[in-house]
Amino acid sequence: MLLVVGTAFAAPRAAKELPGEVTISQDIKIGAAIYLTLTLENGTPVVVLLDTGSAVTHLDESLVPYLGPKKGTTEVIFPAMGWITAALYNQPKLFLNGTELKAEGKVQVYPFRLRPSSGTEIRGILGLNCLKHYCLQIDPEAGKLRFLKSGHFQKSEAGRYYSMVISQDYEIAAVEGNLLGDEDTGSIVDTGWSTDGALQQKNFRKALRRKGARLIRQGDPVTCNPPSAALLPVASFHMSSYTNVVINDARQADIYGLRFLARHVATLDFPDERLYLRRIDDSITVSGNGKAGIVEATRNP
């Protein structure tokens, strides 16, 4: 995974309504994730993953001294980590571009820190308990993540919109359909999922039976840790076709991932419960080594 950390950074100051825009990688469609550099109230920087597929915010245990009293524990499961016990703390104040982000509930704390090849420490996940308050625009061409005022942007330039339902029971955001073109189901909108998306096991097996489909990584069929990955020459979303689509076996969920969103300028208007997609570049080639479990993607010339 490529790593580009959002460059916007400022010490907390007088509150603004929105944080504005942040520089992100233009390569989010070929492996990069969206990271933001937030600050705690005392100015401590915290690099986090922007993850609309996470219901809550997660922080590394190294930040415990800044979080106040512990409020209990909970059991959490992650595809790459299995079950873990996380400590619960009240949601701390988090700032982006000097603006305090809206959030509520408890944060989950455990040994989270990641150290990618760049050496930057990732110490958290910014989840839907915060992000659902905002309208986010992901612009791969400009390399920008923009915080827009919900309902107050150039909708004519934002592309086609799709209803996006936020479940209060499970704290997930979902849009009708999946990458097999089945519109009688729904898929989670997950910016923390780096490929085009995922299909629950029965749909993943169905996808593999399609002409030209190729398994490029064999995962664990029981735990999906790691998940299997497949390359589809063509996939469908609401009657639109997409080429060279990389999907995973997610066992129990259908997902629209970051790489799919990054085929567009994507506007996630959570307060208005709409996803806008303005299609841009679809020129991605993919090669895979199934034995080694390696998936590589590059832009076409």
Give per-residue pLDDT as tens, 159-168. 999 999 998 7
Instruction: Kindly report the CATH number that applies to the domain delimited by 153-299.
Output: 2.40.70.10
Spatial CB neighbours of 210, under 8 Å, sequence gap ≥ 6: 232
Taking a C-beta distance cutoff of 8 angstroms, is the pair 153, 267 a contact?
yes
Task: HSE, CB side, 13 Å, CA atoms: give it for residue 280.
Answer: 18
Q: Does position 203 have pLDDT exceeding 60, yes or no? A: yes
Closest CA to 277 of 140, 130, 147, 165: 140
- In angstroms, the CA 243 to CA 297 distance is 13
Amino acid 47: pLDDT:
94
pLDDT higher than 70, residue 288: no
Predicted confidence at residue 250, as pLDDT, reads 87
Higher local confidence (pLDDT), 164 or 225: 164
d(CA 269, CA 290): 37
The pLDDT of residue 283: 55
Distance CA 296, CA 142 (A): 23
Q: What are phi and psi of 156, to 5 degrees?
A: -65, -25
Q: Taking all residues of the chain, what is their mean pLDDT, rounded to a whole number? A: 85
User: If you average pLDDT over residues 126-154, what whole number do you get?
Assistant: 95
Q: Is the pLDDT of residue 170 over 70?
A: no
Residue 50 phi/psi, 5-degree rounding, is: -80, 115
Across 32-41, 56-65, 108-117, 238-247, least confident range = 108-117
pLDDT score, position 279: 93
Tell which wins on pLDDT, 111 or 34. Answer: 34
CATH of domain 21-131: 2.40.70.10
- Helix locations, 57-200, DSSP H: 128-131, 155-158
106-118 mean pLDDT: 76
The pTM (predicted TM-score) of the whole model is 0.86
Q: For 233-292, where are the alpha helices, taking DSSP H only? A: 258-261
| Cα–Cα dist 167/132, whole Å | 11
21-131 shares its CATH topology with 153-299? yes
Q: Give the pLDDT band (50/70/90) at residue 269.
A: very high
| Residue pair 160/267 in contact by the 8 Å Cβ criterion | no
Q: What is the pLDDT of residue 9?
A: 43
Q: Does the pLDDT value for residue 230 go beyond 70?
A: yes
- The band of 5, judged by pLDDT with boundaries at 50, 70 and 90, is very low
Domain boundaries, the chain: 21-131, 153-299
β-pair partners for 94: 40
The whole-number pLDDT of residue 287 equals 43
For 99, the token pair is 């603006």
Look up residue 125 and give its amino acid. I
Tell me which of 78 and 100 has the higher pLDDT: 100
CA–CA gap between residue 24 and residue 28 (Å, rounded): 8
Which residue has better confidence, 1 or 243?
Answer: 243
